Amino acid sequence: MASMDQERPWAVPKPTPAFEPPRLLNPNNVAFRTCRVSRKVARACAIAAIILVTVLVWRLVGADTYHHCEAHTGFLASALRVSNTKASSSEDPVNTFQDFKSHGVTCDVSSLELYESNSRPCQDRQSLLRALSSGGRIGKDAPYLPRGCGYLWYSTQEICEILDRFSQVVLVGDSMLRHVIGAINILIREDLGYGGVTDWNFNSVERYDIRGWAISVAIVRYPIPDVELDRLRAALKTPVHRPRAFILGHGLWNNLNHEESLAWLDTVLETVLPSLGRNGAKAGRDSENHWPVLLMTPNAAGERKPDQWLVSQGNKALVLFEERMAAEAAKRRIDHLGTWNMSIQASLYDGVHMDMRGNLVKAMMLLNWLGFL
C-alpha cells in the first residue's frame, strides 16, 4: 500500500489519542514555516457552529476565538454583496494582514502579494468555479488571476459572516484540505505566525462541554473502513438549524486512479447527503439543483516531486484526472474546483503541497464558494 501512497512521506503525525484535542497542523510543518514567532496561548480556531473534517473530524470551538468572530458578525449579510462593488472600485488596495499578529519583520507577508483585483467579481457560483479553475499567473508566485471574472478577498469580518450562515461546514479529504483548514484559521484568528496551529489543550470540563468536538477519522483512501464511515456519520448526527456544506478532496492516496476515486466519492456522498435533510439541501442548492458539496482536485506537480511519481502522478496525469473528475462531479450534481492552474506556477515545497501563501489563496477561494451558497 505504501508504494502507491504519494503523500505518506509528508504525512502528518499520528492522530492524537482519544480525548486529546488534535493539533491541527504540526508547528514544524513546512507548509506553515513561512513565519516563526514566539508562541502565545490561544483558544481553538474558529466558530462554535462550524465543523471541519479532514484526516480529523474537528468541531471548531473555543470561547476566545468564538467571541473574536462573534465580535465581527452582527452586520447584514447584504454587506457581502456590497463588497462586490468595492472590489471593482478605484479604491487603493489594502493589505488585510497588516494588523495580524506576527506581521512585520518576523512575517512579512502581504495579501497584496497574493491577490490582485483585475476584473469584476463573478456573479454566480458556477462562473466563479469556472474562473478559479481556469486562471493563471503572470510569473512564478505572482497573484493568481481567475479567467473571465474575479473573486473577492474577504476581511475577517466578512469571513465570520459567511461561516455564520452555516451550522456545519465539513471538509473530508487529505493533507491538502488540512492545510486549507490551517489557512482559514489564520484568517479567522488574525495570526500569521501560529493561527494555523493549536498550542493549548482542553481541560476536563471543556472536553465534555462541547458535543462531538473531535473524532479521529482517516478518510483519505478507497476502500474506506466501515469504522471510519461510522465515525463520520456520528459527527453529523448533531441537529442543525442552518444549512450544512461539504468540501471534499481526493486523488493522490489512490494514485489518481479515477475509478477508485469515484468509488471513494460515491461512498462519501452516500454517507453525507442524508445529513443535509430537506431544509439543508434546499438552502444549499442553486437553480441547477446542485447539492451544497464541492469536490477539490489535487495541486499540480512541482519540480521537487520525487521521480518515482512523475508518470503516475505527474502533470499529465493530474490534468486528465482533474478533467475527468470535473465531468463526474457534474453528473452527481456537485460542484468542482480545479487547483492545477492555480498551483502550476506556485511554490510547492515538496513538489506536492503549497506553502502558507498558496493555502491562504485556496482558503479564500473556498470562502468565496461558501459565500454563494
- The whole-number pLDDT of residue 28 equals 34
- pLDDT per residue as tens digits for the range 294-340: 999 999 988 998 888 888 888 999 999 999 999 999 999 999 999 99
Distance set, CA 49 to CA 71, 187, 230, 241 (Å): 15, 17, 21, 10
- The whole-number pLDDT of residue 42 equals 31
Closest CA to 32 of 12, 49, 52: 12
The residue range of the domain holding 111 is 2-371
Name residue 343's amino acid: S
Looking at the 3D structure of the chain, how many domains does it have? 1
Give the helix/strand (H/E) hosting 372: none
- The whole-number pLDDT of residue 143 equals 96
pTM: 0.75
Cα 72–Cα 73–Cα 79 angle in degrees, nearest 5: 105
Residues in Cβ contact with 17 at an 8 Å cutoff, skipping those fewer than 6 apart: none
- pLDDT per residue as tens digits for the range 251-306: 888 888 889 999 999 999 999 999 987 544 444 455 467 899 999 999 998 899 88
- The whole-number pLDDT of residue 286 equals 53
- The whole-number pLDDT of residue 18 equals 33
- The whole-number pLDDT of residue 283 equals 45
Residue 192 contacts residue 292 (beta carbons within 8 Å): no
Distance (Å, whole) CA 32 – CA 199: 14
Closest CA to 281 of 232, 334, 237, 325: 334
Distance (Å, whole) CA 262 – CA 1: 19
All residue ranges of the chain with pLDDT < 70 are: 1-91, 198-218, 221, 278-288
